[in-house]
Amino acid sequence: MSTLVVVGSQWGDEGKGKITDYMAQKADVVVRSQGGNNAGHTIMIDGEKFALRSIPSGIFNPKIKNVMANGMVIDPKQMLEELAGLEARGITNYQLFVSNRAHVVLPYHRELDGAYEAFKGDKKIGTTKKGIGPCYADKINRIGIRIADLIQPEIFKEALHQTLTLKNMELQMLGLEPLQFDPIYDEYVEYGKKIKPFVCDTSLLLEEEIEKGSKVLFEGAQGVMLCVDHGTYPYVTSSSPTGVSVPVNTGIAPRYIDNILGICKAYNTRVGEGPFPTEINGDVATYIRERGHEYGTVTKRPRRVGWLDCVALNYARRISGINYLSLMLFDVLTGLEKIKICYAYELDGKLINTIPATLAEYERCKPVYLEMDGWMEDITNVTSFDELPENAKAYIKKIEELTKTEIVIFSIGPDRKQTIQLKDFFK
Ligand code: IMP
């Protein structure tokens, strides 16, 4: 048995796509377990840039089985467009399996996402407006429509009738026009036909694969701090992007999880609203944003930038079961004279080492920093830890010390080749 979960250990956008793609070279199966097309995984292959949204990162390798598991919310229109886009760029030979239990994002989810944001005004979450929250809300409210329903026209018709009646009431309550049944039904039934060949019980498939010794990679979306249970609620996504949620989101036993690799940037970023204690503005923030191309893959919004927050990272490690770390965009920090790391917060005059539950308290947290000397040497071509400048080595060692977790990968540029791996997960 050989499984690895890759999770974002900050607020998303840590570079999970790159590591998943890198790990996928040796994996037999790659699984997306939660979220939907709110995610945007950028992958560089031989200098070519691919931005994946809901399709797993193993799609480029014809030998890899790619699974979209039950914990996902799938927008069929977007998913088919994404596949068509890949096919147009020559990715035609792939294996894709879609869970019959995953939930379907429908047009009213997208409408409601926008309407709730507008209703919240300056308290808006800053969602991606892809309908993710409203779709998960329907799942929990037991009025969701699943992939298994979508691919059976009669069942879909009945389910859509019932749900649309309710959703139209909700839309009207929020001042929007009700949606017509026929156009949605006609459009989505066609999507159902196209998706049907990919649909199966992915839980069964995964157990079979794990039992026969396949190397399985679970690809996280978003980040632990966006977890609906443990993140900075309500400024979170609507699923649990943690390592420990993988069994529920994929239908496998917890004992099948071998390792949970936390992906973190060498600094912090955040898109959307919500507290961000180590956020910085000014020249250093601009330097990091430009060097790290810190603009949203999905929304193109400039990302908020800050120093590395080891309180949040430690919290993510604990909540998510992370046992190794991968440090991303390390080269972005090159050229800074001084680099800060947050190792505690000060809350109302007391030092704390964890994330408070309420936003009001979290907003009052002030970061406590230690300052380290930076390095000026270009590190984008190093091939080992030993080749790093001393100050860069010291930065890695300090993060390991503060998080009590070994950094087993560091990334020094966008290309696959610029990934230094110190531990092999898939032998
Ligand atoms: P939603 O997932 O679209 O509902 O958005 C909720 C929050 O999660 C917003 O702050 C989004 O910016 C954030 N978010 C959702 N997906 C991602 C992601 O893949 N990377 C970073 N932030 C994300």
Give the pairing of strands 366-373 and 407-411.
unpaired
| pLDDT recorded at residue 18 | 84
| pLDDT recorded at residue 190 | 98
In sequence order, the 6+-apart residues with CB closer than 8 A to the CB of 215 are 2, 3, 4, 26, 27, 28, 29, 426
CATH code 3.40.440.10 region(s) in the chain: 2-99+199-259
Across-strand partners of 342? 309, 369
Q: For the full predicted model, state whether its pTM sits above 0.85.
A: yes
CATH code 3.90.170.10 region(s) in the chain: 264-421
How remote is the CA of residue 201 from the centroid of ligand 1, in Å? 28
Minimum-distance ligand 1 atom for the alpha carbon of 40: 19
| pLDDT recorded at residue 272 | 83
How remote is the CA of residue 214 from the centroid of ligand 1, in Å? 31
Catalytic residue among 21, 41, 149, 230: 41
Which of 125, 129, 106, 108 shows the shortest CA–CA distance to 188? 106
Mean per-residue pLDDT pooled into runs of 10, the chain (427 residues): 92 87 90 95 82 92 96 98 96 97 98 96 94 98 97 98 97 96 98 98 98 96 94 95 97 97 96 92 96 87 96 96 97 98 98 95 97 98 97 98 97 91 88
Radius of gyration of the chain (CA): 21
Q: Does the beta carbon of 239 lie inside 6 Å of ligand 1?
A: no
Dist. CA 115–CA 128, nearest whole Å: 13
| pLDDT recorded at residue 273 | 85
41 is catalytic: yes
13 is catalytic: yes
Exposed/middle/buried for residue 114 (C-beta within 10 Å: 0-12, 13-18, 19+): middle
HSE value, Cβ hemisphere, 13 Å, CA-based, for 410:
26
| pLDDT recorded at residue 33 | 97
How remote is the CA of residue 271 from the centroid of ligand 1, in Å? 7
| pLDDT recorded at residue 415 | 85
The alpha helices in 151-201, defined as continuous H runs, are 153-173, 181-195
Q: Does the beta carbon of 220 lie inside 6 Å of ligand 1?
A: no
| pLDDT recorded at residue 44 | 78
| pLDDT recorded at residue 1 | 62
Minimum-distance ligand 1 atom for the alpha carbon of 301: 12
- CATH number for the region 2-99+199-259 comes to 3.40.440.10
CATH fold for the domain made of 264-421? Adenylosuccinate Synthetase; Chain A, domain 3 (3.90.170)
The CATH class, in words, for 103-195 is: mainly alpha
